[in-house]
Chain A
Amino acid sequence: MTRLNPLSLIYGGALIGLTFIVISLAGNIVGSLTSDTQFNRFTLDAYSRLLSDPGLPATLLRTLALGFGSISVTLAFAIPFAWLLARTDFKWKTGLFTLLAAKLAIPGFITAMAYVWLFNPSAGLVNALLGQTNYTGEPAFDVYQIKWLCLLQGLVLVPGAAFMLIPALRNLDGSLEEAARVAGVPAWKTFRHIVMPLLAPGILAVGVFYFVVAVEMFDFVAIIAPPGDVLVLTIYEALNTVDGLPDYGLAGAAGVLLFALSAGAILFYVRFLRQAKKYAVLGGKRRDPGLVRLGKWQRAASALVILWVTLSVGLPVVTLLWVAVVPFIQPPTFAALDSVSLYGFLDGLAYLREPLTNTAIVMAGTISMALTFAICLTWVVTRSRSTIAPWADALVFLAPAVPAIVTATAFQVMGIAVYQWLPLYGTLWLIMAAMGTRMLAYCTRTMNAAALQIHPELEEAAWVAGLSRWRTFTGVFLPLMAPAIFYAALMVGMLAARDLTLPLIMNSAGTPLVSVLIFDLQTNGETASAAAVALYMIVVLVLLALTARRLTGMAEPGLEPTR
């Protein structure tokens, strides 16, 4: 009897992960080649309609501006935050970690609504206080601009980007910085000339990944609604037809344009991966990085954190608290204080038990699926010598460019097609598979950057010492990847708990999730209960994140302040 090569498990896991990605991508591409009503007749009609739209060039330009603008804001905060958490003696690390986790749990529409209340040109509180609204003349602030959209999306993406960068920073060889310190190089020069170049693959991966995510985000576009279209609006409109079948062709064609916008950046990244060895800094002679003493820069770091926290967490949470205690959405005025009550919190609590249980199941399932496939893919991409490995990675990279609603539809169609053999259609399992697929790219981005920094000499040493490749994988590769795996799991868990589109499209009766509950309450005008449930969710997720960090030992060595 032939013994199964344990490594084939890794290749098998990678293959299943890739198959899920292909389902999602194929759903988009096949959709773009179908007519409005026929899935079995292929046509280029959708491309013709899309490309003949005279407004398309402007739409593309706005979409590009949105992508680049958003990632600029994201990186401006995420790089310093990741560095503060992983490599410095910053005083408020636990606080910063907690707030980053909290931000992940705040629904995007709440952040957008908070900014609309404050900065809308006709009645925004800030404009009203300044006496400058468009009723009185020129408003001081007008939130309905693409630059505000970039700012808000950029702020929201900071936690994920920071969590992606932390593992790469933790793996840097401290001897390089130490040598610089001994040579008298100032800390900021060390950061600029040593840390930043070594982090290049990680930063590039984060930039490309979040560019793709930023052009596909819908919550902020829907609420801010700046003048003129962006591609994601074209997709939304095509899929939300008045009656009849959704226009899968037009949505798919617009999705393919999103791929095209992302493809250039992804190709650049693939070329970068070919020079991977240049960035391998975690070798057999690695020194513990130690912590950079911030000294007088503690205050500047605190100021940056306070700025982000105020803009990104403070305003939305205060908004949520306010919405949770008033009977309907209204600006905070003295008159409105008369109607304040805790009814929303009591009402929300009564609904929470079953959706919370289901959400926990979905989180656990999605984390398991996404991490299993991602670890296998990362190993194949960074450790196997296959020439197709970088292209497999590029394929994974494209997955976030598929709009969530298209991914949901693709998995539903797949579920229907294979129902006779595998009755997953209508179950939580299919939702978890779709969610896992969408988050696979996030996991592989985090893990690839960390894996590239682990020098193959460590694994080679293990082989020479007589360990099998499987034992090397489990005994050397996985332990060294632990920080990346932890942060990927954290991010996947948070996003799975918050995700609305996939459960909403793929919902199966009897399995309500917290995100859908919030949506149901919100749609019914029961905003107080919706906000209260969102606040409960934030508290639960933050506690989970803190517990997980403590249990897995991820608070050490970089995440606790030195004394």
Chain B
Amino acid sequence: MRLLFVISLIALVPLGQAVAQSSDLPESVRALIPLAEEEGALHVYGATLNPRQVRAFSKSFNDRYGTDIDLTMSGGLHSAKASEVAMAHRAGVPTGIDVFWTGLISAMVDTGALMEVDWAGHYEADASLTMGKWGLRTHDGHQSMVTINTGRVAADDAPKTYMDLLDPKWRGRIVIPRSPYPWIAMTYALGEQETVELLSRLITEQEPKMLARYADIRARVLSGEFPIALGTDIFSLKKRGAPVDHPDIDLLVLSSSGAFVLASAEHPAAAKLWGLWAVSPKGQATLEEARGYSLAETPGTALNTYATGRRVAHVPFDWRLENHDRLAEIYLEILKRAGS
């Protein structure tokens, strides 16, 4: 009898947890839970995750709401996928995607492929996290960050400002992406003139190695071939003991990525719950643990620790939508001068 009682208690623990966790939710969010359970599944497109990471996401998400929703996550080339989603939306064809988890959405905005969600007003999310009429900011991108190989560069010797990258001692020692992305974000912080000058001089004076893919940039600075890299973060690698670090640069430039529910989502309630989970403390902990992602303002994360006491420039979502085309053209032109 006692054994039965203990088993019953153990069986009730998950239910108790679910009740405890969902009881602190606003009424509008709680109303989504039965709908999401009925939907039963959710597909989030955006980040390349391995199966273990997907399991961690799924467990944390379902634990938060006491649900058993089948979570699928996939990734790939965002701009190509966004364009495909826009085309499918126009043709009324389901894409199978519920949430587009990205920072690059203009293709979908133009075709009305995104659902307008009142995250702050209706679901009581922090208003500073909303991205236009559609998205909820889930983490801050740091593609403008500088990385050093600690085996090759002493902390004292490392660059302290972006302009320090122009020191002749780093000539031929820097690897950067063949992309205007970091420079567009940097423009918001440094101004267009200074950023153009910085990139132009970097290309002509420092002869950096330019690589097309971010994973390759990480690999080169990790192996020590290039002591300095720009355009990639290494928080999760550093945690695993890799000889890399972000130096003590005076400025941190951040641009945001968020959860965008598609207008054609087959599981809209689950999609909204996912966005709200991602910004919750538990969601932030999971993002940080699994992928090294977090909001800069989430206490205790590696990004938050790095950002503390530093000048942080947060590129506004609307500013980026407005300026990216023009700036991309300028910076691509400068990047093309390399090796020509």
A residues engaging B (CB < 8 A)? 37, 39, 55, 58, 113, 116-117, 120, 122-124, 134, 144, 221-223, 225-229, 233, 236-237, 239-246, 327-331, 339, 347, 350-351, 405, 408-409, 412-413, 416-417, 419, 425-426, 504-505, 507-510, 512, 517, 519-527, 529
Contacts and interface: CB of A to CB of B under 8 A. Distances in A.
Given A123-B225, A222-B211, A510-B72, A524 B291 contact: yes
A240 B177 CA distance: 12
Contact of A425 (B75, B88, B173): B88
Given A242-B184, A246-B79, A517 B96 contact: no
Given A328-B242, A416-B93, A505 B48 contact: no
Interface stretch (B102-110, B116-124, B307-315): B102-110
Interface size class of B (residues with CB under 8 A): 35 or more
Interface string B53-91: 100000000000000000010111101111110111001
A236 B212 contact: yes
B33 interface: no
Contact of A240 (B53, B79, B106): B79
B96 A426 contact: yes
B9 interface: no
B223 A330 contact: yes
Nearest to B90: A416
Given A117-B223, A243-B104, A416-B93, A505 B77 contact: yes
A243 B74 CA distance: 19
Contacts of A242: 79, 104, 179-181, 184, 324, 328
Contacts of B51: 350-351, 512, 517
Interface stretch (B195-203, B213-221, B277-285, B297-305): B213-221
Interface stretch (B17-25, B132-140, B268-276, B332-340): B332-340
Contacts of B291: 524
Interface stretch (B160-168, B186-194, B233-241, B246-254): B233-241
A509 B93 contact: no
B226 to A, nearest CB: 7
Nearest to B185: A242
B43 interface: yes
Given A123-B224, A409-B84, A525-B218, 8 more contacts: A117-B223, A222-B212, A239-B80, A329-B219, A517-B51, A523-B215, A524-B49, A525-B240
Given A116-B225, A242-B104, A524-B53, A237 B332 contact: yes
Contacts of A347: 52
Contacts of B107: 243-245
Interface of B: 43, 48-53, 72, 74-77, 79-84, 86-88, 91, 93-97, 103-107, 110, 172-173, 178-181, 184, 209-213, 215-216, 218-220, 222-226, 236-237, 240-243, 291, 320-321, 324-325, 328, 332, 336, 338-340
A225 B324 contact: no
Contacts of B103: 243
Interface centre among B43, B79, B82, by most chain A C-beta atoms within 10 angstroms, is B79
A523 B223 CA distance: 16
A220 to B, nearest CB: 11
A124 B320 CA distance: 40
Contacts of B84: 409, 412-413, 416
A329 B75 contact: no
Summarize A's interface: helix, strand, loop or mixed. loop
Contacts of B97: 509
Contacts of B220: 116
B315 to A, nearest CB: 12
Contacts of A37: 110
A522 B215 CA distance: 7
Given A122-B173, A328-B242, A425-B93, A524 B50 contact: yes
Contacts of A351: 50-52
Given A526-B50, A529-B50, A328 B77 contact: no
Contact of B76 (A226, A237, A243, A505): A505
Nearest to B220: A116
A520 B74 CA distance: 9
The 10 closest A-B pairs by CB, nearest first: A227-B339, A243-B104, A509-B72, A520-B48, A523-B48, A222-B212, A419-B93, A228-B339, A509-B43, A244-B106
